[in-house]
Homo-oligomer: A and B are copies of this chain.
Amino acid sequence: MKRVNTSPISGMQELLPEQQATFNQLRENIADVYRQHGFLNIETPIIDRCEILLAKAGGDTEKQIYKVVKTAEANEGADQALRFDHTVPLARYVVEHESDLKFPFKVSQIGRNFRGERAQKGRFREFYQCDVDVIGRGSLPLYYDVDVLMTALDALKKMDLETPVVARISNRKIVTGAIEALNLQDLAAEIYNIIDHSEKVPAEATVAALDEIGLSKENRNKILALMQLSGGVDEVVNGLKALGVVGETFDSGVEELAYVVSMLEKGGFAEMARADLRIVRGLDYYTGTVFEFCLPEHMEVGSIGGGGRYENLAEYFTDLRLPGVGASIGLSRLFYVLTENNLIKSQVEKAVDVAVVPITEAELPYAMEVAAKMRGEGKITTVIASDKKLGDKLKYAAAMAKHGVVLGETEVTSGKYEVRDFS
């Protein structure tokens, strides 16, 4: 036997046909909901210039991005790469096509992105992301933060999963405002980082980390109290007010958070939306609303999506001010959690409705005719023309299809046939 390694590269999610059918159904449901909410779909190229993709240099991106070279040019520098998210290509797209778009531009993108990270459970190198974004020209009302959140939550709701899904929502102005009010600006990056990591370490470690960067006991306790706030909008807003922090940024963050969460509650998503001050979304480019989607019963996998408000989508490409807000569902990871934990029923038991089985070659043309008729009735129909014995053909037919039609001389002559149930 030849021995070539035919497994996919590690970190790729390669599915069998039945799994793929379930995956596709989830993806199509998401696309449907996004469309229902008035988002226009676009696709950007998977390959783009490094100049574009790495315009905002630094961070993990530069370490994880896949660069692309052509064989014939392998010795030249690679100046093209694979997109690692949908946001950067969207920024290029909006600037490039600005005069052809209507703003606010409600846009959806569903496709694969690429990051050369270390492959781990639920963390893929090639992964589907399903994004909705709203881009304004000049300004963008806060309502659109609600719009993208509601759209993504509606998509998750319609999946009818056997486990709850929630959006944990915060607003970066609250933490930024608290840092300002407490005069801790010099420690902003460290504080963000400690909050961001606080769920991965024991509570004592977070306390210790805040002490270590030199916070007074009072300030440390304020930050700790702040990050522990989570729940419904009234509860969290009262908690925030009780902190005794005063300042414009802070107040504006509290107000925005209250607006976003309460609008979601009014909009029928009370069970799926909660304020949660631990959400900061790393050191990302978000400036206001931030959120993560998660499965509270399966926190081990991390978030299954998220997003937020950014003040300027394309600051590296244009002087136009393009504020935006986006939400993304990480479909590959979500699918992984759902299948690993048996949280999703395989939606398609057998892919084929009817298998038409001609007994010999002679009945093939009639089999084609019967199959075409069945398809005309909307049935997924296949003709089985294997050169095996009838018994083997029927076994194969029964494995593939819900129903079968066997066609011999009699059926051809009479034009009558029986549809058997294979279930």
Contact = CB atoms under 8 A, between A and B. Distances in A.
A80 interface: yes
A167 interface: no
Contacts of A263: 364-365, 368
Contacts of A381: 36-38
B368 A4 contact: no
Contacts of A380: 35-38
B375 A36 contact: yes
Given A46-B126, A141-B386, A380-B38, A100 B16 contact: yes
Contacts of A116: 70-72
Contacts of A72: 63, 116
A383 B74 contact: no
Given A4-B51, A63-B72, A17 B41 contact: yes
B6 A52 contact: yes
Nearest to A385: B143
Interface in A91-117: 92-93, 95-97, 100-102, 104, 106-107, 112, 114, 116
Nearest to A356: B38
A285 interface: no
A102 B399 contact: yes
A147 to B, nearest CB: 7
Interface string A48-66: 1101100100000011111
Given A36-B381, A382-B37, A400 B78 contact: no
Interface stretch (A170-178, A316-324, A407-415): A316-324
Interface residues of A, number: 102
A267 interface: yes
A416 interface: no
Contacts of A102: 396, 399-400
A385 B147 contact: yes
Contacts of A95: 4, 6
A162 to B, nearest CB: 23
Nearest to A79: B9
Contacts of A147: 383, 385
A299 interface: no
Contacts of A37: 375, 380-382
Given A1-B319, A102-B400, A382 B45 contact: no
Given A4-B318, A43-B15, A383 B143 contact: yes
Contacts of A40: 17, 20-21, 351
Most chain B CB inside 10 Å of its own CB: which residue of A4, A62, A146, A380? A4
B70 A74 contact: no
A362 B70 CA distance: 57
Given A6-B52, A66-B69, 12 more contacts: A2-B318, A4-B55, A8-B96, A13-B45, A14-B96, A36-B380, A38-B355, A63-B71, A67-B70, A71-B81, A146-B368, A263-B364
7 smallest CB-CB distances across A and B, nearest first, come from: A38-B382, A143-B385, A17-B40, A12-B45, A6-B96, A70-B116, A4-B317
Interface of A: 1-2, 4-9, 12-17, 20-21, 24, 35-38, 40-49, 51-52, 55, 62-72, 74, 78, 80-82, 92-93, 95-97, 100-102, 104, 106-107, 112, 114, 116, 125-126, 139, 141, 143-144, 146-147, 150, 263, 266-268, 316-319, 351-352, 355, 364-365, 368-369, 372, 375, 379-383, 385-387, 396, 399-401
